[in-house]
Structure 1
């Protein structure tokens, strides 16, 4: 990709916007090196990383990466045998600890079974070094100071330093607060040349003896180390020297421990930089309300509701920008300040962003192409140094473009042919567009020339477009209208501003007929567009109402399904209670009979006693009279009553048939195609008669081999209620088809759908057993169901 286009379309400004979200030096290096590419595989990988980062942003608020400095110079120094200081070791330690934290964070995402395209691959690139990480954390604090835990000797030395300092301060405090305090300039203890001293008036220097280390600017105060603490200060100094030597030894030791791992540490920093860039892309995408577009290998560009990323996203007017599928050239006409140039730049910049793996400010289902080169001639590039006029400058650029363009190029021209005689400029513009069309390049050009409106109408693979202008408010709306050429609104604007109508009429007469006809054609097209837009909005309203009704019905069905299961569960429970109660009463009656037999001996049970027992057993029967009075049940029973000529579905064979005559209490003779069969009523389902006769086809008895029911049901991506409803219907169909077993694919996900299906199968009367599929067939992402 040529570097000039990155500057022309402000791609570098987009990178600057994104750079503010980076927190690592390696991430800043990554974005500095980021440029659009034309390699399809690289773009796919970058887009997948962006998609992963946006998902982490939504689910966990982003990837946790702290501020990290550039450690490449540090690794270079230890490679040549130099020692790192405390601050440099702390920066290396921060990289190692960040590596461990990121590994734990991504492992947690993996344990939650959240799917990503590339994130888990980057996690595998991270190399944790726990022992070295712990050693550095224990020896160096975040500010680069060597801690007391770095070595036992250092701890002892620092304890001695603290004790010496305490002794010296106590001795000096006794002087400052004692009888000799009057000889001091101030009652304080301070330090000079790393030794504790007191401020003594110049004339009393001999009173304290010791060593003079400094004096004030006026010479009236001397900073004296009293003779009684000289020895203590000497001991303190010795401890401080020992501390310095021990710290230097520890830093050298830690630096040497880094040497074997320097490549691993550098690679970790590189991976963290990549993750930092992914994070920045996600945060930038959130700011611009961006999405990850799909990629069209045929270069069919469809940017839905696209916005320029450098504009205020709340105020920018979104537009649908398309090129490549139905037309390869778009000619945008219309007056200035209407938004033509910004539309041109939006197309080019969004394409550059996409080819750099960045999210674009557009709506979902947008798609981008892959161009090997993007060329643009936008703005006034008049060169004073080279004595080139505006026209000459434009033509120099165009000549360069025509020499390098091919079928994989996108060309953007602003005010094509401007800066010269209108007739010559229009002719040149048409010839240039023809030359680009001959090379199958993709072109979007803006112009004022009316001749190009006719060109866009007549040329194949070319379409007119314009920016909408509101004549009532005398202002542009910044909306792109594809298929409608722009027209001059001079007459309407002049009329609204109060220009005499006679002057306007004379001006219309002066215009040649062709221009007048063209303007009338454009006006007619605009009217038709507005009518179509009105009809679209009306249809859209009905579609939304239908969608709302569909959602309500879906919710009602889900409620019905759940309520049905609840009622069945209650009915089963009640039936079990009734049966249990009847069993208890029957047992009691049988026990009573046995007692009577024992009591009466050989005489047996008397007749009136047997009658009484029979009456008790008959009383166990539940009265169903109230059900006969139930109108709803009565109507349902009437509907289920079969009669000659009814159409039914024979469940065993899955075939539609007609009842011929009744053969017994529950048996019917049924016509199935050319066959007549005797079928039990329990095996039939009444059907409504077909409205139109259909040609009868001889069907064989339905079997697993001839059935169109698949032996696998895929529920991935389905909502919970919808999936359970599908399972219910599918199992019935599979049982009728005679399958011994089927597979239900539900995926792993959060496990909610898998649990729901397991609970359903547990209560299904026809399911003999169920278990997860083998590892090579989906593991716990699929369930194998076997039937009775």
Structure 2
């Protein structure tokens, strides 16, 4: 990719954010060198690795590679037989210890999960725990070797301690004894690695020994007394022995490291690669990114794409497509409306995707593989544009036209600006036509109306605009493909206070054809907004209907199950009663036989017992077969029944109201209180309408009121979408009708929403004297979106 496009599309800023996510110096270096690739297989592998690392981050949290230092130089020295210093050996140890932690991170809770692209890398890690443990045993810190590193070192240090104690004993005897009067201070000091005492210059002859130093004034001499010269020499020899033993220990550790050089080098490479991969995953997590689907057909389809450098609270997601029905997209609209952001979003997300980074867009967004991106994007919003600005842009465009091919993406910001509008528009159309004829994917932003007409009249070219609200004078930043944008210059100027007289004179300066074209655009925009609002409302209604349908089906299933359970229990109880009756009858007959001595006619008794058993068996058969013994007075036909009629369901022994006309097979719905069931005409019997009297209602001539209307009142009222006042007015009349119809309970559907409608309805119900109680629906009844009301 050319560097100018990377810079124009702000790709380096993405790399900076990626580099911050890496924890090791070598990992950060890989991040800084990351460039978009043109190898589709490499891109897909990197995207898969990023996705798998992101999955692990979500499942198990972050992992650190901070101790991974560049030890390649140390390994090279080992290869030629050199020994390593303490710091180098500790760096190797830190790598092995961090490798062990990363290896443990990969193993935890992965047994029941499918393998991914990172498993092989984790499996190749070799922590070499014995080697790292040996290093930690021998080296305590960067400037301290353990006494236990070797027996020889332990013995040397023990001798050093004994010699040191003897030196201090000798010198303490001098300092606190006869030589005290000759000393400047009663202290023991060290000069050039030798223990000395500070002697006044005038008494140097009184303290025999070697002079090692003197004070800046010359009044004090630092003398090593002859009594400790040999001991100091012994200490110096022991120090040299100690250093020699340390070198032997470091050489031994270096030899052990050299034996594992290849494994350590592989660990280093894998750890750096994993740090790089997890840095990409960490960036994807921050951006809420997803894996794009790549194609080689030049098709771009971004769903709810967000520019990654715009704050999350301010960025507006946009839908962009290119390369399916059209290869050239012309974006029009006012300044500061988001045209350039749309352009940069496509370019930057393409670069990120080809670099193996996830993009801030919805899943299954598509990106095309482009071998080169050419972007002419600059700040064209100054009041005056000099010739040099136009020349600069044209120089870029010329280079694009020479190099671009069908595998390129070309982005123009304000194409043709900076010169005469007529010539600029003509030049822009010519350039875009040239690219379009060559099948090059191109996006361009412009103010020129001529380009809008060109897009409308040319196959394979599409208009788009960034939505702008004239009422608020603010852009919405939504990209609308298929609709050319308006400049809205007159509307904006009027809102900002420019006089109508000036605006009218301005309108006279443009041609009637241009004015008509702008009016057409306005009409298209108004229709689009209307259709969009209606579409959203329809979608909301569909979702609401789907929810209500599911609730109704659940409720019907529950009622059917309850009905079957009640009937089954009733039959079981009846069967039990019959069994008990038969047993009692048999016992009674047996007693009759015992009283034969009382001259009872046993044959007559036996006949009577057999007759009784026949009658009871017949009753049991009718009960167990669940046969409806009661027949309707008159076999009803479809003509005899209409919605609202009062009927009796014989199989349930319940009264209800007909809710629908019979179908071709004679089945219809009947509402029985809160139960709505589908029954056959043969199971129904018409009942006379009850007559009620009430002093609170207007009486008929006979002082009675027919219930023909109230009997057909539904057991449910739907108040969804009403305001509180509208709902209360409608509910008031409905409850009166339901109460007159002698319904035991009713169901009020108000939805969940904000809860304001539910609260208003509950406040109203508390004030109604004929309401016994009310409650929210249970599971299967509609939950909190429904209120069940019981009447007194």
Q: Fold conserved (TM > 0.5)?
A: yes
Cα offset for 1:375?
Answer: 1.3
User: Partners of 2:6 and 2:176 in 1: how far apart?
Assistant: 74
Cα offset for 1:496?
Answer: 1.8
User: Partners of 1:557 and 1:205 in 2: how far apart?
Assistant: 117
Residue 509 to residue 254, structure 1, CA distance change in 2 (3 Å): same
CA contact (8 A) 1:53 1:62 kept: no
Q: How does 1:29-68 map to 2 (within 5 A)?
A: 29-68=29-68
Task: Output the TM-score relative to the length of structure 2.
Answer: 0.66
CA contact (8 A) 1:52 1:116 kept: no
Cα offset for 1:224?
Answer: 3.6
Q: Deviations over 1:135-175 (max 9, x none)?
A: 33333345374333332212222333344444444555566
Q: Identify the residue that residue 729 of structure 1 maps to in structure 2.
A: none
Q: Secondary structure at the match of 1:389?
A: helix
Q: How does 1:664-743 map to 2 (within 5 A)?
A: none
CA contact (8 A) 1:63 1:275 kept: no
Residue 216 to residue 556, structure 1, CA distance change in 2 (3 Å): farther
Cα offset for 1:41?
Answer: 1.2
CA contact (8 A) 2:298 2:441 kept: no
Q: How does 1:140-151 map to 2 (within 5 A)?
A: 140-141=139-140, 143=142, 145-151=144-150
User: Partners of 1:388 and 1:234 in 2: how far apart?
Assistant: 86
User: Partners of 2:241 and 2:557 in 1: how far apart?
Assistant: 79
Q: Identify the residue that residue 676 of structure 1 maps to in structure 2.
A: none
Higher mean Cα deviation, 142-151 or 52-61? 142-151
Q: Identify the residue that residue 193 of structure 1 maps to in structure 2.
A: 192
Residue 154 to residue 434, structure 1, CA distance change in 2 (3 Å): same
Residue 8 to residue 368, structure 1, CA distance change in 2 (3 Å): same
Q: Identify the residue that residue 447 of structure 1 maps to in structure 2.
A: 446
Cα offset for 1:59?
Answer: 1.3
Q: Deviations over 1:361-411 (max 9, x none)?
A: 223332322212111111169xxxxx9922222222222222222222111
Q: Identify the residue that residue 20 of structure 1 maps to in structure 2.
A: 20
Cα offset for 1:552?
Answer: 7.8
Q: Deviations over 1:702-749 (max 9, x none)?
A: xxxxxxxxxxxxxxxxxxxxxxxxxxxxxxxxxxxxxxxxxxxxxxxx
Q: Identify the residue that residue 99 of structure 2 maps to in structure 1.
A: 99
Q: Deviations over 1:474-499 (max 9, x none)?
A: 23333322222221222112222222
User: Partners of 2:246 and 2:179 in 1: how far apart?
Assistant: 40
Cα offset for 1:314?
Answer: 2.6
Cα offset for 1:526?
Answer: 1.7
Q: Identify the residue that residue 496 of structure 2 maps to in structure 1.
A: 497
CA contact (8 A) 1:127 1:264 kept: yes
Q: Identify the residue that residue 233 of structure 1 maps to in structure 2.
A: 232
Q: Deviations over 1:297-325 (max 9, x none)?
A: 43432222222222222322322222222
Determine whether 1:390 maps to 2:389: yes
Q: Identify the residue that residue 341 of structure 2 maps to in structure 1.
A: 342
User: Partners of 1:239 and 1:559 in 2: how far apart?
Assistant: 95
Residue 503 to residue 209, structure 1, CA distance change in 2 (3 Å): same
User: Partners of 1:186 and 1:463 in 2: how far apart?
Assistant: 96
Cα offset for 1:635?
Answer: 11
Residue 393 to residue 195, structure 1, CA distance change in 2 (3 Å): same
Q: Deviations over 1:15-37 (max 9, x none)?
A: 11111122223312322332111
Higher mean Cα deviation, 414-423 or 532-541? 532-541
Q: How does 1:45-194 map to 2 (within 5 A)?
A: 45-111=45-111, 113-141=112-140, 143=142, 145-169=144-168, 172=171, 184-186=183-185, 188-194=187-193
Cα offset for 1:533?
Answer: 2.6
User: Partners of 1:95 and 1:128 in 2: how far apart?
Assistant: 9
Q: How does 1:75-474 map to 2 (within 5 A)?
A: 75-111=75-111, 113-141=112-140, 143=142, 145-169=144-168, 172=171, 184-186=183-185, 188-379=187-378, 389-474=388-473
User: Partners of 1:517 and 1:554 in 2: how far apart?
Assistant: 55
Q: Identify the residue that residue 482 of structure 2 maps to in structure 1.
A: 483
Cα offset for 1:181?
Answer: 5.7
Q: Secondary structure at the match of 2:456?
A: helix
Q: Secondary structure at the match of 1:481?
A: strand
Q: Identify the residue that residue 730 of structure 1 maps to in structure 2.
A: none
User: Partners of 2:52 and 2:154 in 1: how far apart?
Assistant: 47
Cα offset for 1:326?
Answer: 2.9
Cα offset for 1:273?
Answer: 0.6
Residue 122 to residue 185, structure 1, CA distance change in 2 (3 Å): same
Residue 553 to residue 142, structure 1, CA distance change in 2 (3 Å): farther
CA contact (8 A) 1:36 1:353 kept: yes
User: Partners of 1:177 and 1:533 in 2: how far apart?
Assistant: 102
User: Partners of 1:212 and 1:349 in 2: how far apart?
Assistant: 75
Cα offset for 1:5?
Answer: 2.1
CA contact (8 A) 1:89 1:144 kept: no
Residue 540 to residue 176, structure 1, CA distance change in 2 (3 Å): farther
Higher mean Cα deviation, 551-560 or 240-249? 551-560
RMSD: 4.0
User: Partners of 2:475 and 2:63 in 1: how far apart?
Assistant: 43
Residue 515 to residue 544, structure 1, CA distance change in 2 (3 Å): same
Cα offset for 1:430?
Answer: 1.0
Cα offset for 1:555?
Answer: 11
Q: Structure 1 stretches of 5 or more lacking a match?
A: 382-386, 572-577, 579-623, 639-686, 690-788
Residue 57 to residue 184, structure 1, CA distance change in 2 (3 Å): farther
Q: Identify the residue that residue 2 of structure 1 maps to in structure 2.
A: 2
CA contact (8 A) 1:380 1:390 kept: no
Higher mean Cα deviation, 92-101 or 422-431? 92-101
Aligned pair count reads 581
Q: Deviations over 1:668-716 (max 9, x none)?
A: xxxxxxxxxxxxxxxxxxx999xxxxxxxxxxxxxxxxxxxxxxxxxxx
Larger radius of gyration: 2
Cα offset for 1:556?
Answer: 9.9
CA contact (8 A) 1:88 1:144 kept: no
Residue 486 to residue 235, structure 1, CA distance change in 2 (3 Å): same
Q: Secondary structure at the match of 1:477?
A: strand
User: Partners of 2:211 and 2:548 in 1: how far apart?
Assistant: 96
CA contact (8 A) 2:16 2:32 kept: no
Cα offset for 1:428?
Answer: 1.4
User: Partners of 1:559 and 1:187 in 2: how far apart?
Assistant: 102
